Homo-oligomer: A and B are copies of this chain.
């Protein structure tokens, strides 16, 4: 029966070859007419992007619209063949153990490998500090529903990842926005907010911090700023949830700034990592690290007791990528692809003499944060972008309330498109008659 269960499908002597992604992505073959996953879908495919259509993926801009909004990887940067190979190798190596309920905190070997990746941090970590997650969103949901209760207050930057805000409020948590400066979250604002929440008889759920390649502003907080924030958080007994999704995507020369978790020796910090930005978001795989007691508390939740490791089979696939060195060979290729795209977007934007905007220097990640010259209302910029068939993410989406700013993703599109889109946007931003002074004056 084992043989029958494990049989190959009729007519297939061996797994079909996975198409190599070579520059442009070629759609895979459908097995028979009418077989496409989208046969029931309203198809709005981007030419050359195959099954990348509504009904399959999360969000697709209308045809002909250049989408600089989403924090997605370009389909051409998603390692299709690498993952197909790893899946086959993982199932060959681990057999049914890769298909079982996984150890609650995640397979020990993978946790050890992930802990080793933080070996250059100020504080060493062991597998006991690590728990596998089904991605950062799932980790945030577990934390928000386990370590906080409805009515508690999340402290976060004035401009923060919009969908994390949505997630927190959907868990019944309240939001308290903290002022920021060029260096990151204001230490004074954190201190005052923590006092104010307590004075109101509420409890702080946690500080939601993205100190590295901040989403949306791209900022990286200095080590000193991190230490100051940690000190204030510790004084108030406030847990820090450090969303470090882009940690491995340093694009510029130089050393990374240590994580808040590493600086704090894990005390009072839960650091969230993910493979969504370095391999593929569909895997729904990430990990968190923290003090073993706190991590153990999360791993003891009935959700995990009942279902086991939060995404076990996929975690065993990724174990192969780490064990075999594929992941470490993949990262520099990915970084090169992102660097090329960032350069292309900046080149397009500079086509009008970099007039009418200032980009926050971002050392890595997916985003440019453009602060526009005074006098350009956000609605006007969005209307112009819309009219020129372009989608951008306005600052207001993230809670930004100052002069008009937009987040531009250079991760999702090929370089040529990014340069062209940058040129169009530059034309919208460039208005010498209006921008006589201030930032990005012409």
Contacts and interface: CB of A to CB of B under 8 A. Distances in A.
Contacts of A83: 91, 99, 313
A437 interface: no
A56 to B, nearest CB: 5
Residue of A9, A165, A280 with most partner-chain B CB within 10 A:
A9
Contact of A313 (B7, B85, B127, B284): B284
A75 B100 contact: yes
Nearest to A97: B51
A307 B94 CA distance: 28
Contacts of A309: 58, 282
B170 A333 contact: no
A127 to B, nearest CB: 7
A336 B1 contact: yes
A93 B170 contact: no
A99 B168 CA distance: 26
A54 to B, nearest CB: 7
A56 B87 contact: no
A96 B325 CA distance: 22
Given A84-B15, A97-B75, A110 B37 contact: yes
Contacts of A127: 40
Interface in A19-33: 19-31
Contacts of A52: 95-97, 100
Interface stretch (A133-141, A199-207, A376-384): A133-141
Interface string A40-83: 11000000011111111111000000000000100111111111
Contact of A58 (B80, B103, B140, B141): B103
B28 A91 contact: yes
A169 B300 CA distance: 12
Interface string A239-258: 00000000000000000000
A3 to B, nearest CB: 5
Interface stretch (A142-150, A230-238, A360-368, A422-430): A142-150
A289 interface: no
A313 to B, nearest CB: 4
B56 A102 contact: yes
B284 A310 contact: yes
B78 A15 contact: no
Contacts of A140: 303, 306
Interface stretch (A221-229, A262-270, A316-324, A347-355): A316-324
Nearest to A332: B4
Interface in A282-335: 282-284, 301-314, 316, 319, 323-326, 330, 333-334
B15 A89 contact: yes
Contacts of A92: 16-19, 28-29, 84
B302 A167 contact: yes
Given A40-B127, A145-B145, A282-B99, A3 B18 contact: no
A53 to B, nearest CB: 7
Contacts of A89: 9, 15-16, 31
A38 interface: yes
Contacts of A110: 37
Please give me the 6 A-B residue pairs with the lowest Cβ-Cβ distance, nearest first.
A167-B302, A137-B307, A99-B280, A6-B81, A166-B302, A163-B306
24 contacts: A1-B77, A1-B337, A2-B20, A6-B22, A25-B95, A28-B94, A36-B109, A37-B93, A37-B94, A37-B319, A51-B95, A52-B96, A55-B108, A56-B102, A56-B107, A56-B108, A56-B316, A78-B96, A83-B99, A87-B87, A140-B303, A141-B145, A141-B302, A145-B145
Interface of A: 1-9, 12, 14-31, 35-41, 49-59, 72, 75-85, 87-89, 91-104, 107-110, 112, 127, 134-138, 140-142, 145-146, 149-150, 163-172, 276, 279-284, 301-314, 316, 319, 323-326, 330, 333-334, 336-337
